Amino acid sequence: MIKSINEKQSGVEIDLTGPEGNAFVLIGYAGKWAKQLGLDSKKIQEEMMSGDYENLIGVIEKYFGEYVTLYR
């Protein structure tokens, strides 16, 4: 299918059902993104690890939802 250039999404897209959906991979991405945005990567990564996988996803949405699209 060919889409209009206006439908092009910017940012990162991650399939949570694939290898990129691994919690450790996501924590690594969050550290990188935080540094790029001038955020406290250690604080964000600690918040991600303070709960279960759903918490981890919620923290990504909280800090990076504007830049990252997650798919299940």
| pLDDT tens digits for range 13-70 | 999 999 999 999 999 999 999 999 999 999 999 999 999 999 999 999 999 999 999 9
Closest CA to 56 of 18, 19, 16: 16
Answer whether residue 5 is part of any domain.
no
- Residue at 66 is within a domain: yes
Q: Quick one: tokens of 5?
A: 């250039």
Provide the whole-model pTM.
0.85
Amino acid at 23: A
Please give the pLDDT value at position 11: 82
pLDDT at 63 (0 to 100) = 98
Per the domain annotation, does 44 fall within a domain?
yes
pLDDT in the model for residue 17: 95
Number of domains in the chain: 1
Q: Find the domain containing 44 and state its range.
A: 11-71
In a domain, 3, yes or no: no
